[in-house]
A and B are shown apart, each in its own frame.
Chain A
Amino acid sequence: MSEIAKTSSSAASRPLLKTLTPWIGFLILLLALPNIFSSNSGLYTMNLMGIFIIFALSYNMLLGQGGMLSFGHAVYFGLGGFMSVHFMNYIEDGAFVFPMYLIPIFGGLIGLVFGIIIGSFSTRRAGTVFAMISLGVGELMASSSLIFVAFFGGEEGVSGDRTTGPELAGINFGQDIHIYYLIAAWVFVTVTLMYLFSRTPAGRMANAVRDNAERAEFVGYSQRKVRFVSFCASGFFAGIAGGLFALNFEIVTEENLNALTSGTVLLMAYIGGVGFFIGPIVGAVLFTLLQSILSNYTDIWQLYVGILFVLTVMYVPQGLTGIIVMHSAAWRMKRLGSLILPYIRIGIPALAMLAGIAAFLETIHHVRTAFEGDTLMSLMGIEFDSHGVVSWIVILALVFVGGFLTRMQLRQLRDAWETANKPPAQTEGSGS
Chain B
Amino acid sequence: MTSAIELQDLRKSFGPTEIIRGVNLTIEEGERHAIIGPNGAGKSTLFHLISGRYNVSGGSVKLHGENISNLPPFEIYRKGLSRSFQVTNIFPNMSVFENVRCGLMWVKDYKYSFWHLVDRQRELNERTAEVIEEIGLTSRQHIPAGVLTYAEQRALEIGIAAAGGADVIMLDEPTAGMSHSETDQAIALIRKITVGKTLVMVEHDMGVVFDLADRISVLVYGEIIASDTPENIRNSKAVQEAYLGAEAEE
Interface residues of A (CB under 8 A from B): 5-9, 11-12, 196-197, 199-205, 207-208, 210-212, 214-222, 225-226, 229, 233, 275, 427-432
Contact = CB atoms under 8 A, between A and B. Distances in A.
B73 A217 contact: yes
A214 B89 contact: yes
A11 B121 CA distance: 11
Given A9-B128, A216-B102, A219-B103, A211 B94 contact: yes
Contact of B117 (A200, A210, A220, A226): A200
B91 A200 contact: no
Contacts of A200: 113-118
Interface of B: 51, 53, 72-74, 77-78, 82-83, 85, 89-95, 97-98, 101-103, 105-107, 110-120, 122, 125-126, 128-129, 141-144, 146-147, 160-161, 163-164
A192 to B, nearest CB: 12
A196 B118 CA distance: 10
Given A201-B105, A201-B111, A218-B73, A207 B78 contact: no
B143 A427 contact: yes
A12 B91 CA distance: 22
Contact of A215 (B89, B112, B128, B144): B89
Given A210-B93, A217-B73, A220-B106, 6 more contacts: A5-B98, A204-B105, A219-B102, A221-B105, A225-B112, A275-B93
B74 A204 contact: no
B144 A430 contact: yes
A7 B82 contact: no
Contacts of A8: 95, 97-98, 119, 125, 141-142
B229 to A, nearest CB: 30
B89 A204 contact: no
Interface centre among A5, A12, A219 (most CB of B within 10 A): A219
Contacts, number: 139
Interface centre among B90, B119, B160 (most CB of A within 10 A): B119
B192 to A, nearest CB: 20
Nearest to B97: A8
A200 B94 CA distance: 15
Contacts of B91: 207-208, 211-212, 215-216
24 contacts: A5-B93, A5-B144, A8-B97, A9-B119, A9-B128, A12-B119, A199-B119, A201-B113, A202-B114, A204-B101, A207-B91, A214-B53, A215-B89, A215-B90, A215-B160, A217-B77, A218-B83, A218-B89, A219-B77, A219-B105, A219-B106, A229-B112, A427-B147, A431-B93
Contacts of A226: 112
A202 B113 contact: yes
Instruction: Pick the 5 closest A-B CB pairs, nearest first.
Output: A220-B106, A9-B125, A211-B91, A201-B110, A11-B119
A229 B95 CA distance: 23
Given A12-B122, A220-B78, A430 B93 contact: yes
A202 B112 contact: yes
A164 B92 CA distance: 52
B144 A212 contact: no
Given A8-B142, A204-B102, A211 B97 contact: no
A42 B146 CA distance: 44
B202 to A, nearest CB: 16
B112 A9 contact: no
Contacts of B72: 217, 222
A275 B83 CA distance: 29
Contacts of A204: 98, 101-102, 105, 118
Contacts of B122: 12
A217 B113 CA distance: 16
Nearest to A223: B74
B93 A217 contact: no
